[in-house]
Chains A and B, each alone.
Chain A
Amino acid sequence: MSAKFSLDDDSVVVIVGSGAGGGTLADELTRRGVNVVVLEAGKHYTQADFENDEWAMFHKISWLDKRISAGGWHHTETYPNLPAWIVKGVGGSTMHFSGLALRFLPHDFRTKSTYGTVDGANVLDWPISYEELAPYYDIAERKMGVAGTKASGLPEMPPNNHYKVIAAGAKKVGYTDISRPVASNTRPNDGRPACQQIGFCMQGCKISAKWSTLYSEIPRAIDTGRAELRPQSMVLKIEHDKSGKASGVLYADKDGRQHLQKARVVCVAGNSIESPRLLLNSASSLFPNGLANSSGQVGKNYMNHTTAAAVAIHKGPVYMYRGFDIAAVISDEAQLNPDRGFLGGYHLEGLALHLPFTAAFMKPGGWGREVSSALEQYDHMSCVWVCGEDMPQEENGISLHPTEKDQYGLPIPIVTKTDHTNDAAMRRHGLTQWRKVSEAVGATRVIDMPPYPASHNMGTNRMSANARDGVVNKWGQTHDIGNLFISDGSQFTSSSAANPTLTIVALAVRQAEYIAGAMQRREL
C-alpha cells in the first residue's frame, strides 16, 4: 500500500536515508499522520539477498563509493579508501549493525561541564540531558526489541560459548558490569522470529530476528499508506527558496536522471559522512559555505569512537562464530575514572569475527608464521572490540575534494581523522584489560589488532544550545533553517562509549514527535 507522491507535492516531509535515523523517522512520522518520501541512495535488498558469507556481503551491501581517509590515523595506510564501514541500501547500516544497544551515560551529555576544557578538543554539553532522553530510550528499546531490557520485556540472549569465555575471565579479574543488551528477538516479537544463533548478524540477519529498519520500520511506514520509498535515489543537493527555507531536494535515480522533489520539511539522515557532505554540496549564493553552516561547524568534529581490537587464543575450543555475534560486554570501564590517565571510558565488547575477516583484520599487512600460527587456532579464539569515547576535534571532519568527483559528479568526501592523545592512553588501557580478562581463563596468546574500519560515525552536524557552537538545536533542527533537520548520528555532540544506534533511534523518535507537533501547530 505504498503511497505515491508527485514531485511537485510540497506538503511532504522528505527524508534522506532509510537507516536507523531515517527509517525510524519515517515510521514515527507516518503513524502520526504525516506524509513522507524516503530517498535512499542504495538498493532495496531483502533477506533472500543475505548470505552467510563475510566478503560476499561486504561487497554486496557496503558503501563502496570512493571516499578518502586522511590525517594522522592508521587508516590512511591500512584502509585508504574505506574510512568507514557503512551500508548503502534500504535499512542503511542497520543491516550491518552488530545489534548492540547500549545507552549513553548521564555525564555523556555534559562533557564540557564534566571534563572542563580539554586541550586540543572541542568538547561541548548537549542541549538535552539524559533524563530528557530516557523515556525515548525506553521507546527505542521496545521498538528494536532489545533483549534483557525492562522496556522491551524480552528475555536475555542466552549465553553462547564466546560469551561464557569472556564473562568467566571478566568475573575473575573483578568486573561486575557484564551484560548483552542486543536488539535481537529472544522470542517471536513484532512479527519477526526468535534468534536461531546463526551468527553472521553483521552480514544482514537472514531470518530478520535482529532488528533492522529494512524489515521493521520501513514496511510499517509503507503500510500506513503515507510513505513512499524511492531506493537508488542519491540526493545531490538541497534546494531553498528566496527566504532561505528548504524547498526540495534534487536527486539522481538509478539511471542517473535527475529529479527535484519538493518538500515542506527536509530531514537528512545519510550518516556522518554523507549528511555534512550534502549540506556542503548545497552551497548557494545565499549560503556560500553550505546550508546551515553559519557556525562553520558543518563537517567538523568527526568522531568514530576510540577503538582497538584483539584476539585471545585459549586452551580449549570456543567457536566464537557460533551464535549471536555480540558476546559478553564488559561495561565497568565505561564509568568515569580520571585516575586511569584518560577522560571518558570504554566498553570491552566481545564481537565474533569469522575466519575470513579474522585473517584480514588481525594483522593487516602481516604475514609469515606469526600470522598463520595464530589463524590455525581460529577455533580457540575469543575476540574483543574496544569501544571508547572519542574526543571531538575541530580539525577532524569531512571536506570536499577540490577536483576528484564521484559517479554522480559530486566532489569526493575526504574523511580526516587524527587521534587525540586521550585515545592512545585509552586504547592501551583497554587492550591491557582485555589481556588480563583472557589470561584469567588461561589464554596462552593475545594478539592486539589495529582498529579496523568503524561503522560508528558521529558529530559532523552537532547539537548545541547556541547557534555559534553547532549546527542543530535540541530537536535536531538546524539553527539556520527552520524546516531543515538532521536525523542521524551526525547530531551527536559527544560520542560516549556506547554504540550509537540506540541513541540515533531515541533521538529520531523524539524528533518525529516534535516535527509532527510543529506541523500541526503550523510552525513548520
Chain B
Amino acid sequence: MSTEHTPTPMRIVDKRITLSRRGFLKGGGMAALGVGTLSASTLMTPAREALAQEFKVLGAATGNTLLVLARDIFPHDRISDRYYLQALEPLETQAAADDKLKALLSEGVAALDRLAKLRFRKTYAALDKESERLSLLYVIEHGAFFQKVKGHLVTGFYDNKAVWPLFGYEGSSWEKGGYLNRGFDDIDWLDQA
C-alpha cells in the first residue's frame, strides 16, 4: 500500500435544490402554496399559468406577464418558475397596500402588451421567441416600470436562500463551524491550470 499522501478531492456543492417539500413549505409565503395545493384541474394547465393564479391583487394575467418578465430579466434555465414567483411575491404584497405601485405594475404590463401587439400582433407573454420579447424590453428598460421590477429582483431573486444551492453558494456557515474543516483550502485543479 502506498504511503503517499493522496489529496482529498474538493468538496463540491451539488447545484440542485434538495429541499424537501416540507422544507419548501416551511419557506412560507404564497409560493409555498403553489405546487402543494394545486387541484386536479389546475394540473391540466401549464405550470406558469397555474402559478399566475396566485396573484390575487394584480390578477392572473398581469401575474403571468410578470413571471415571463422576471425570467427575461434574470434568465436561469435550470430554475423553475416557482422561484420567480417567490421573487415577485413581495411586490404583490406591497401592491396590496400601495395603489401607486399597483398602478405602476398594472399599467406597465398593459403598456408592454400594447407595444407587443403593435410590433408582433401578440401579447408580450405570448411571444415564443426570446429575441422578440427582448426587443421590446430594450425599448422600455429605462422606464419606471422595468426599473422597479428589475431593481426589486436583484434582492427578491438572488437573496432567496432557496435558490442559493443552484449557484453553488452555501450561505450561513458559523453554525457549522465555518469552513476550517469543510474545504476552505481544498482546491485541487490549480496545478493543471
Contact = CB atoms under 8 A, between A and B. Distances in A.
Contacts of A97: none
A321 B170 CA distance: 9
Contacts of A367: 73-74, 141, 150
Contacts of A315: 189, 193
Interface string A119-148: 000000000000000000000000000000
B29 interface: no
Contacts of A378: 167-169
B159 A51 contact: no
Nearest to B166: A376
Contact of B169 (A55, A168, A316, A379): A379
B167 A379 contact: yes
Contacts of B157: 359
A354 B173 CA distance: 12
For the residues of A in contact with B, the DSSP-based class is loop
Contacts of B184: 158, 160-161, 197, 322-323
Contacts of B168: 317, 319, 378-380
Contact of A442 (B74, B178, B193): B193
A316 B167 contact: no
Interface in A36-70: 51-55
Contacts of A372: 74-76
B45 interface: no
Nearest to A161: B187
Contacts of A254: none
B155 interface: yes
Contact of A369 (B12, B75, B177, B188): B75
Contacts of B159: 54-55, 356, 359
Interface in B151-193: 154-155, 157-159, 164, 167-174, 177-180, 182-190, 193
Contacts of B171: 52-53
Contact of B178 (A159, A198, A319, A359): A198
A441 B190 contact: yes
B117 interface: no
B153 to A, nearest CB: 8
Q: Which of B179, B184, B185, B186 has the most CB of A within 10 A?
A: B184
B158 to A, nearest CB: 4
Contact of A379 (B15, B186, B188): B15
B107 interface: no
Interface stretch (A199-207, A229-237, A275-283, A412-420): A199-207
B32 interface: no
B72 interface: yes
B186 A354 contact: no
A51 B172 contact: yes
A355 interface: yes
A321 B171 CA distance: 9
A161 B10 CA distance: 10
Given A321-B169, A379-B15, A199 B178 contact: yes
A368 interface: yes
A49 to B, nearest CB: 13
A53 B193 CA distance: 32
A316 B158 contact: no
Contacts of A441: 190, 193
B185 A198 contact: no
A319 B159 CA distance: 17
A465 interface: no
A90 interface: no
Contact of A316 (B134, B154, B164, B187): B187
B185 A318 contact: no
Interface string A165-189: 1001000000000000000000000
Given A317-B12, A323-B185, A198 B174 contact: yes
Contacts of A337: none
A441 B154 CA distance: 30
A355 B167 contact: yes
Contacts of B33: none
Given A196-B177, A371-B74, 6 more contacts: A158-B184, A197-B178, A360-B158, A367-B74, A376-B167, A378-B169
Interface of B: 10, 12-13, 15, 72-76, 134, 141, 150, 154-155, 157-159, 164, 167-174, 177-180, 182-190, 193
5 contacts: A164-B187, A316-B193, A322-B184, A323-B179, A379-B169
What are the nearest 8 A-B pairs in CB distance? A379-B168, A196-B178, A52-B172, A198-B178, A323-B184, A359-B158, A316-B189, A197-B184
